[in-house]
Amino acid sequence: MSTAAAEHALGRTGPEETAARARGLTKAYGSGETAVLALDSVDVDIARGRFTAVMGPSGSGKSTLMHCLAGLDSVSAGQVWLGDTEITGLKERELTRLRRDRIGFMFQSFNLIPTLNAAENITLPMDIAGQKPDEKWLNQVIDQLGLRDRLKHRPAQLSGGQQQRVACARALASRPELIFADEPTGNLDSRAGLEVLGFLRDAVDELGQTVVMVTHDPGAAAHADLVLFLGDGRIVDEMARPTADAVLERMKRFDTIRGTAEAPEASGTSEASGIPEVSGTPERDTGPDRKSVPGQGIAPDRD
């Protein structure tokens, strides 16, 4: 299914306003009897300068879609473009460079380097690329995220919310064409989660960025301009200008179809906030390696 209807609803036209798109995107894992069709001929347009959320039941293909759009995973069939660049068929080295130069990533587990302070973590992808940050932009991002007085702190000296803000600043630092956020509030309490969602919203509204966020949480999805619903590897629905209640209602229909009582709250979200409540220390990267950004397939050029 195409997202043309929602594009129309949001007043967008033209391919030049598409930050990423896929046509006939198919991804199968394994072969023979054990093969899993994670994505089944998906057509999707990600609008530039908009905040898109991707929702769906567990196993519906959300992460696979994000990984294929970001060039982190190969496709079995179909085509994917980042802007005007077709990324399907690019060699791994070209993909590494494309991810590093044109995409920002945020993950549930923050993926900060523990031995680097906040400022160093923020500029790490650019340092790896040998690029100088645009100081004006960087300062704007740091102030927008309220990190000015935390720049010398290492991740262990920061709260979970502050760590995710550093990860957000790192994703924004190079002013990428597209930011992918995979459950960015999954390790945060409700207040810190709302704060991070507010920053992603501001990144779109005030800094003109494009954000794609995978989430299980209707409350988080309600911060987006558009929600894409995945079911069994297909985009089965979309919702412009979502509210948490409307998203929750739509998610319940998946449960009805599946004939289970499992509601989105079952994945650990609190009904009041819709944001997962997690105690304990979030998973952190432990490697002191300055030469790569964990989880993002970002590394220096080898030529």
Where does this chain touch ligand ATP (CB under 6 A) — which range of 58-66, 76-84, 110-118, 157-165?
Answer: 58-66
Interatomic CA distance for residues 237 and 32, integer angstroms: 30
Pick the closer one to ligand ATP by CB: 127 or 255: 255
Where does this chain touch ligand ATP (CB under 6 A) — which range of 10-18, 61-69, 242-250, 277-285?
Answer: 61-69
* Per CB under 6 A, 59 contacts ligand ATP: yes
Interatomic CA distance for residues 167 and 39, integer angstroms: 28
Pick the closer one to ligand ATP by CB: 38 or 122: 38
Give the interface size with ligand ATP as a residue count (CB under 6 A): 12
Closest approach of Cβ 66 to ligand ATP, in Å? 8
DSSP category for residue 10: T
**Cα atoms in the Cβ-side hemisphere of radius 13 Å centred on 298:** 29
Q: Which of residues 261-290 bind ligand ATP (CB under 6 A)?
A: none
Helix, strand or coil for residue 93?
A: helix
SS (H, E, C) 193-217: HHHHHHHHHHHHHCCCCCEEEECCC
Closest approach of Cβ 69 to ligand ATP, in Å? 12
* Per CB under 6 A, 58 contacts ligand ATP: yes
* Per CB under 6 A, 64 contacts ligand ATP: yes
Q: Which of residues 12-41 bind ligand ATP (CB under 6 A)?
A: 29-30, 36, 38
Closest approach of Cβ 64 to ligand ATP, in Å? 3
Tokens of 6: 């929602």
* Per CB under 6 A, 234 contacts ligand ATP: no
Interatomic CA distance for residues 124 and 203, integer angstroms: 20
Interatomic CA distance for residues 112 and 124, integer angstroms: 10
Pick the closer one to ligand ATP by CB: 63 or 270: 63
Pick the closer one to ligand ATP by CB: 4 or 266: 266
Interatomic CA distance for residues 44 and 237, integer angstroms: 11
Pick the closer one to ligand ATP by CB: 42 or 47: 42
Pick the closer one to ligand ATP by CB: 45 or 217: 217
* Per CB under 6 A, 63 contacts ligand ATP: yes
Among the listed residues 101, 103, 75, 105, the one whose alpha carbon sits nearest the alpha carbon of residue 90: 75
SS (H, E, C) 245-289: HHHHHHHHHHHHHHCCCCCHHHHCECCCCCCECCCCCCCCCCCCC
Q: Which residues bind ligand ATP (CB under 6 A)?
A: 29-30, 36, 38, 56, 58-64
